[in-house]
Amino acid sequence: METMTAPLELQTVYQRPNALEDTYTNYCPGCTHGVAHRLLAEAIDELGLRDRTILVAPVGCAVFAYEYFDLDGCEAAHGRAPAMATGVKRALPDRIVVTYQGDGDLASIGAGEILHAAGRGEKISVVFVNNAIYGMTGGQMAPTSLPGQKTSSSPKGRDVAMTGNPMRMSELLAQMEGSAYVARRSLHDPANIRKAKKAILTALKVQEAGLGFSMVELLSSCPTNWKLTPSEALKWIETNMLPIYPLGDYKVADAVRDL
Amino acid sequence: MARELLKGNVAIAEAALRAGVEAYFGYPITPQTELLEHLALRMPELGRVFLQAESEIAAINMVYGSACTGTRTMTSSSGPGISLMQEGMSYIAGSEVPAVIVDVMRGGPGLGNILPSQGDYFQVTRSAGHGDYHPIVLAPASVQEAIDFTMLAFDLAEKYRHLVIVAADGMIGQMMEPAELPPMRPLPTKRPDWALTGADERPKRVISSIYMSAEAAERFNLKVQARLKEIRRNEQRSTEYETDDARLLVVGYGSAGRIAHSAVVAAREKGLKVGLFRPQTLYPFPEASLSKIISRIQGCLVVEMNAGQMIEDVQLVAAGQVPVRFYGRMGGVVPVPEEVLAAIEQAYDSMSELSLAAPA
Amino acid sequence: MAHGMILIDQERCKGCSLCIEVCPQHVITINTSKLNAKSYHPAGLDDPGGKCTGCAICAVICPDACITVLREPPLRRGVGLSSPTVERML
Ligand SMILES: Cc1ncc(C[n+]2csc(CCOP(=O)(O)OP(=O)(O)O)c2C)c(N)n1
Ligand code: SF4
Ligand code: SF4
Ligand code: SF4
């Protein structure tokens, strides 16, 4: 902390949320995984859920998420967070169970688990960080990579004839009867970040009210593997991801509107 | 409690209930399906968790999650499903949560068939997926033992915070036999002090299998190895039959052990000095009792319903002191006592030739 | 306009500059003469004119949650508060 102290007449209007540990994260500078963490922590604080939330961390850059939050937490196998969360939630139905997953984790290796968790209406909340790439393993193509996107495993750009088109998980999961709330937001500027926070609050409230499966997809940056500066990466989300991944609410069950 | 006629799979399921299993996650696969079906009926009746998962991969990871909350949890499957569970088993191993898996083994490799086999011996005893680990493996040879070992499995899992596999072959799962079920045990009232329950008025808890630095990972591994050593010291189980004056020792577990028992009885009737050693724990392998017997016999015959897997453990114990022969059937073929008897006679003869040839 | 100020956790900051880009008052800079323990040049408030409004936009975008935002309470009628400057607060 800086050595400055605030004069009496100033009030703190924003500070680090309590649900975040007082620790340093391993994320690259400007990576919006950090923003997603902060929003989740703020939402948990605001709803007073810290002492009954259990976080299921993924395999991906967020593998240490359980170290960054001051919550009970565990670490799932790659893609299996929804199954692990199902085990936790079924054992402790009155706790709040949150998975935090990347797009490789959720849309590729774990596509089956997320689909069935939504299908069962599993009362968990999913924070889905879509950065259109495999971050942790060094920038390979994900099922969410954009057409033509150059990655280390699609060096000439994603060829949709060979590898298909980006998978839109929010649209897909919204089709499941069991999903109560599915929304896509973006982390590319402050206004959108504020909207993302609201969506995360809603997702947690949906779980608290026992309404079903809830997920917030967050369009997120990977400056390192996109080979852009943090601010260029935010612009890349806006320019390239938004047209493929339209923001919005994909599923809002009637009961959710009454919350 | 009175003895009743019970099917192996149902008996295991009912024993798990009475042992206090609080949550079950599984996926249908023959020849274990009645186990899942019985719990589908009984768990909700008792207000406990039953969930049919979308796959064995999901099932084992649900088990992992549930076990992390200190809830008594199990799954069951057979060969192909156990193969799919290996990664999840490794995570369970790497984070020291107790869990019970029942493997009702069938013929392989591949889809193989649904007939009884012991082809999963390597798969269940050598590791739990990747990494250095051994689950505790219990091998029942009767419906009664299947019941008793299921009860024991939960005790051992919780005592050592370890993965326990009940490795029954398809015959045990499918056969009907009179057996006695234990009374219903009370459910645990307190969660263990490592369980995830929400950080309510206590520091947060974390369950993970990550040990980033080589040193931390080695330290964890050393801890696991120390626990395995303790398990090897305390938990070896086996039964013996007519081993005192035996010259040839037949070694078999599960159904093969049971068939071998009939063959040994028949061999004794023919005047052959043959005994039976039946491991009840496959890990830890009951090497202490076996090596005592091996020091006083002239030969060993291992009988399995596979191409010879446990034989490696017997050979390790025998360490070249006596010849170790093998008789096995594969692919779901269950040997009949007569063919095992023939193998015994052959082994006996060759042993006599050997000892005749050996210098005094 | 309300007056505000921010405190940036110098050890946690990774110098990503996102706060700098979004600050409507352009009062955050990277302190290139300073390196933190993780070898990043941290950002800091550079607001000699007292222009920071405490709008918290910088904090909203900061991926490392290292910004604390302070602001004057709403003015009480007839009682003006003097504007805080960085110098006063040091
Ligand atoms: C079974 C298995 N397969 C592969 C891996 C290697 N692996 C680790 S993270 C990862 C991709 C993660 O990408 P994503 O989920 O998009 O998260 P990000 O790192 O971008 O946040 C892969 C393939 C693994 N750990 N386990
Ligand atoms: S590799 Fe990409 S996703 Fe991972 S921390 Fe770095 S910027 Fe973020
Ligand atoms: S609070 Fe607003 S004005 Fe002050 S530094 Fe942050 S963004 Fe700039
Ligand atoms: S956004 Fe946060 S981490 Fe990035 S430079 Fe500003 S204070 Fe530092």
Q: What is the reported pLDDT for C83?
A: 37
Residue B353: pLDDT band with limits 50, 70, 90? confident
C71 and A11 within 8 Å at the Cβ level: the answer is yes
Closest C-alpha to B24, from A81, A87, A94, A92: A87
Counting the structural domains of chain A, the total is 1
Nearest CA distance, B334 vs chain A (angstrom): 37
Q: What is the residue range of A70's domain? A: 33-258
Q: Please give the distance, rounded to the nearest whole angstrom, from the Cα atom of residue B137 to the centre of ligand 4.
A: 53
Any domain includes A3? no
Q: What is the reported pLDDT for B96?
A: 97
C65 and A193 within 8 Å at the Cβ level: the answer is no
Mean pLDDT, chain B, as a whole number?
96
Q: What is the reported pLDDT for B355?
A: 61
Q: What is the model's pTM?
A: 0.94
Q: What is the reported pLDDT for C54?
A: 96
pLDDT tens for each residue of B290-329: 999 999 999 999 999 999 999 999 999 999 999 999 999 9
**Which residues of chain A make contact with C62, given a CB cutoff of 8 A?**
34-35, 38
Q: Is the pLDDT of residue C87 over 90?
A: no
Any domain includes A151? yes
Any domain includes A24? no
Residue C74: pLDDT band with limits 50, 70, 90? confident
Sign of CA dihedral A105, B81, B330, B293: positive
Q: What is the reported pLDDT for B357?
A: 55
Any domain includes A13? no
One-letter-per-residue 3-state SS of B155-209: HHHHHHCCEEEEEEEHHHHHCEEEEECCCCCCCCCCCCCCCCCCCCCCCCCEECC
- The closest CB to that of B198, out of A54, A66, A112, belongs to A54
Of B48-62, B218-232, C74-88, the least confident: C74-88
Q: What is the reported pLDDT for A1?
A: 43
Q: What is the reported pLDDT for C80?
A: 37
Any domain includes A12? no
* Ligand 2 environment, Cβ below 6 A: A 27-28, 31, 33, 61, 131, 135-136, 222-225
Q: What is the reported pLDDT for C75?
A: 58
Q: What is the reported pLDDT for C2?
A: 84
Q: What is the reported pLDDT for B351?
A: 84
Question: Which contiguous run of DSSP H or E holds residue C50?
Answer: none
Residue B330 · residue B117 · CB < 8 Å: yes
C62 lines ligand 3 (CB under 6 A): no
What domains sit in chain B, N to C, each tagged with a CATH number? Answer: 4-234 (3.40.50.970), 239-357 (3.40.50.920)
Q: Please give the distance, rounded to the nearest whole angstrom, from the Cα atom of residue B174 to the centre of ligand 1.
A: 41
Sort residue A132 into left (φ over 0), alpha (ψ -120 to 50) or beta: left
A135 lines ligand 1 (CB under 6 A): yes
Summarize the confidence of residues B79-85 as an average pLDDT: 97
What domains sit in chain C, N to C, each tagged with a CATH number? Answer: 4-89 (3.30.70.20)
Any domain includes A65? yes
Q: For each of chain A's 259 residues, which pLDDT tens digit applies?
A: 444 555 558 999 999 999 999 999 999 999 999 999 999 999 999 999 999 999 999 999 999 999 999 999 999 999 999 999 999 999 999 999 999 999 999 999 999 999 999 999 999 999 999 999 999 999 999 999 999 999 999 999 999 999 999 999 999 999 999 999 999 999 999 999 999 999 999 999 999 999 999 999 999 999 999 999 999 999 999 999 999 999 999 999 999 999 8
Summarize the confidence of residues B87-98 as an average pLDDT: 98
CATH number of the domain bearing residue A151: 3.40.50.970
Q: What is the reported pLDDT for C73?
A: 84
Q: Please give the distance, rounded to the nearest whole angstrom, from the Cα atom of residue A241 to the centre of ligand 3.
A: 28
Any domain includes A26? no
Mean pLDDT, chain A, as a whole number?
96
Distance CA(C47)–CA(B152), nearest Å, equals: 70
Cβ of residue A1 closer than 8 Å to a chain C Cβ: yes
More confident residue, B136 or C82: B136
Any domain includes A177? yes
